[in-house]
């Protein structure tokens, strides 16, 4: 079954916002076993949008349109799609009631006349209740084709897709599609591909699809079968073989679990507390950890010691160490990690110091980063030479720091 994505909004063409919707929908459609050959971005223009909808309906079974469902005049997706597919717009009492309730219970109690535009729907279509906004999702079906209309804001689109659209798409599939995600740290995309090239060469069903992330590689193993149990049985041996090859470099096989979530899970499991001591990353590691629900149980404190003075005062890094080896050194990273533990009485401290650029520091190059982890009265320090701009270097340093923390816990506490 072929699906096509149309992203609507002049702000996308101008680069005012990043199209996170397209990335999310493409990945989810792939996991459902749908083929996507085209993605289109079009501005708020009736003629061009109508042309793109007509073209998409000719070459795809399903089209997903995002954006343009708001109350203003330039929100035209619903109107144009209904016109192209031959639907009349009628007011939906259920949606009107939901809009009234949304405003009554919200921070903006006044309903303006243009809000009622969102209560108009193509006659006979499926209405998907949007619990995070006023624009409902819509499914228009005609002549074996379907158009799925979703609101543009990602915090509305994502739950609506997961709760309503994904089950709808699954029902259209003649086969069951099941996927298993494997997330790996410590290897680049080419290294991972090389280690599983025999599996990829021999694949038929299930298939293995690699996705490169910053300092991570994700593998999606997908199987098609007549039923869910058969699909699971096809996936299981492939996942087992990949686990055998990568071992502890795999931090999760759960779709929604991030690296920081995996770290917090381990900290909770072994009843450990953690402190962060950051220089070049400026609090990004702490930020990733506290984004995880329940992190307050394990996160003790976060220090941003950007200056040498802060390193001495807060983390007790010796003046002699800074003078002899510099702020960016194995010795300084080690003392930062040690100082973080003793300053907060935490079980663990992860520390990072480096040169994110664009300027070098003496004879030390941009991208040089030292990451240290204090655990059980021992400090492990790793040296990295990251490539890329300032943001890329800092992002890589954060991922490697979290991964060092994760691997250190496994080494020291796993039975």
CATH number at residue 230: 3.30.70.2860
Say yes or no to pLDDT of 318 above 80. Answer: yes
Residue 20's pLDDT band, with cuts at 50, 70 and 90, is very high
Please check whether residues 240 and 106 belong to one and the same domain: no
Q: Are residues 118 and 189 in the same domain?
A: no
User: Cβ neighbours of residue 120 under 8 Å, at least 6 residues apart?
Assistant: 78, 89, 90, 91, 92
pLDDT in the model for residue 340: 98
Helices H / strands E in the chain, number of each: 16, 17
If asked whether residues 29 and 157 sit together in one domain, one would say yes
Residues 50, 108, single domain; the answer is yes
Given this model, what pLDDT does residue 107 score?
63
Domain that holds residue 347: 259-413
Q: Are residues 244 and 327 in the same domain?
A: no
**Closest residue by Cα to residue 352 from 288, 403, 312, 397:** 397
Please give the pLDDT value at position 387: 94
Give me the number of domains the chain comprises: 3
Which pLDDT score is estimated for 106? 67
Residues 215 and 236 in one domain: yes
Q: Calculate what percentage of the chain has a pLDDT beyond 70.
A: 99
Residue 262: left if φ>0, alpha if ψ -120 to 50, beta else—which one? alpha
Same domain, 141 and 238: no
Instruction: Supply the Cα-derived Rg of the chain in whole angstroms.
Output: 26
Burial 235-255 (b: 16+ CB within 10 A, else e): beebbeebeeebeebbbbeee
Average pLDDT of 83-92? Answer: 97
Crossing angle between the packed helical segments 308-315 and 330-344, to the nearest 10 degrees? 40
Edge-to-edge order in the sheet of strand 250-252: 207-213, 216-225, 176-185, 250-252
Please give the pLDDT value at position 108: 65
Q: Which domain-ending residue is among 226, 252, 278?
A: 252
Question: Residues with Cβ < 8 Å from 367, sequence gap 6 or more?
Answer: 354, 355, 356, 357, 384, 385, 386, 387, 388, 393
Could you please report the per-residue DSSP string of 176-197? EEEEEEEEEESS-HHHHHHHTH
Clarify whether residues 182 and 156 are in a common domain.
no
pLDDT band at 365 (very low <50, low <70, confident <90, very high): very high
Number of Cβ within 10 Å of residue 225's Cβ equals 18
CB 353 within 8 A of CB 328: yes
Last residue of a domain, one of 219, 252, 285: 252
Task: Please give the pLDDT value at position 128.
Answer: 97
415 token code pair = 């039975």
Note whether 82 and 215 are same-domain residues: no
Does 183 lie in the same domain as 82?
A: no
pLDDT at 263 over 70: yes
Q: What is the CATH number of the domain that holds 290?
A: 3.90.950.20
Give residue-wise pLDDT tens across range 269-299: 999 999 999 999 999 999 999 999 999 999 9
The per-residue pLDDT of the chain, averaged, comes to 94
pLDDT in tens, 199-250: 999 999 999 989 889 999 999 999 989 888 999 999 999 999 999 999 999 9
The pLDDT score that the predictor gives to residue 150 is 98
**Four-CA torsion 372, 333, 314, 378, nearest 10 degrees:** 50
Model pLDDT, residue 360? 84
Same domain, 223 and 90: no
Confidence of residue 321 (pLDDT cuts 50, 70, 90): very high
pLDDT tens digits for 97-156?
Answer: 998 888 887 666 678 888 899 999 999 999 999 999 999 999 999 999 999 999 999 999
**79 has a pLDDT exceeding 70:** yes
What CATH number did the domain enclosing 137 receive? 3.40.980.10
Mean pLDDT of 337-346: 98
Average pLDDT over residues 353-358: 94
Judged by phi (left if over 0) then psi (alpha if -120 to 50, else beta), residue 299 lies in beta
Say whether both 87 and 168 belong to one domain. yes
Which of 211, 229, 252 is at the close of a domain?
252
């Amino acid at each position: 079954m072929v699906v096509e994505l149309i992203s609507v909004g002049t702000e996308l063409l101008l680069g005012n916002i990043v199209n996170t919707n397209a990335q999310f929908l493409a990945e989810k459609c792939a996991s459902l076993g749908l083929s996507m050959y085209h993605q289109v971005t079009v501005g708020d223009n009736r003629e061009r949008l109508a042309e793109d909808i007509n073209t998409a309906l000719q070459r795809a079974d399903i089209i997903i349109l995002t954006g343009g469902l708001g109350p203003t005049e330039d929100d035209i997706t619903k109107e144009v799609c209904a016109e192209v597919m031959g639907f009349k717009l009628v007011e939906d009492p259920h949606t009107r009631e939901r809009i009234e309730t949304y405003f009554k219970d919200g921070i903006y109690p006044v309903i303006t006349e243009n809000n009622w535009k969102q209560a108009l729907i193509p006659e006979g279509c499926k209405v998907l209740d949007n619990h995070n906004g006023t624009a409902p999702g819509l499914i228009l079906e005609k002549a074996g084709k379907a158009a799925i209309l979703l609101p543009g804001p990602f915090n509305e689109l994502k739950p609506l897709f997961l709760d309503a659209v994904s089950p709808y798409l699954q029902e259209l599939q003649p086969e069951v599609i099941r996927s298993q995600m494997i997330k790996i740290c410590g290897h680049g995309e080419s290294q991972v591909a090389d280690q599983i090239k025999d599996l990829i060469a021999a694949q038929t069903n299930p298939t293995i699809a690699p996705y490169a992330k910053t300092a991570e590689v994700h593998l999606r193993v997908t199987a098609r079968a007549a039923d869910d149990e058969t699909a699971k049985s096809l996936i299981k041996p492939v996942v087992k073989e990949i686990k055998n090859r990568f071992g502890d470099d795999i931090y999760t096989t759960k779709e929604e679990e991030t690296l920081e979530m995996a770290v917090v899970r381990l900290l909770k499991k072994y009843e450990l507390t953690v402190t962060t001591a950051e220089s070049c990353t400026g609090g990004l590691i702490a930020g990733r950890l506290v984004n995880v629900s329940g992190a307050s149980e394990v996160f003790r404190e976060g220090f941003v010691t950007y200056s040498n003075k802060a390193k001495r005062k807060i983390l007790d890094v010796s003046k002699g160490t800074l003078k002899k080896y510099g702020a960016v050194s194995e010795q300084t990273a080690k003392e930062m990690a040690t100082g973080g533990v003793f300053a907060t009485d935490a079980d663990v401290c992860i520390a990072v110091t480096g040169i994110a650029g664009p300027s070098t520091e003496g004879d030390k190059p941009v991208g040089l980063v030292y990451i240290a982890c204090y655990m059980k009265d021992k400090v492990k320090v790793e040296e990295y030479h990251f490539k890329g701009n300032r943001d890329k270097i800092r992002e890589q340093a954060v991922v490697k720091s979290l991964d060092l923390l994760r691997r250190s816990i496994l080494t020291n506490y796993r039975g």
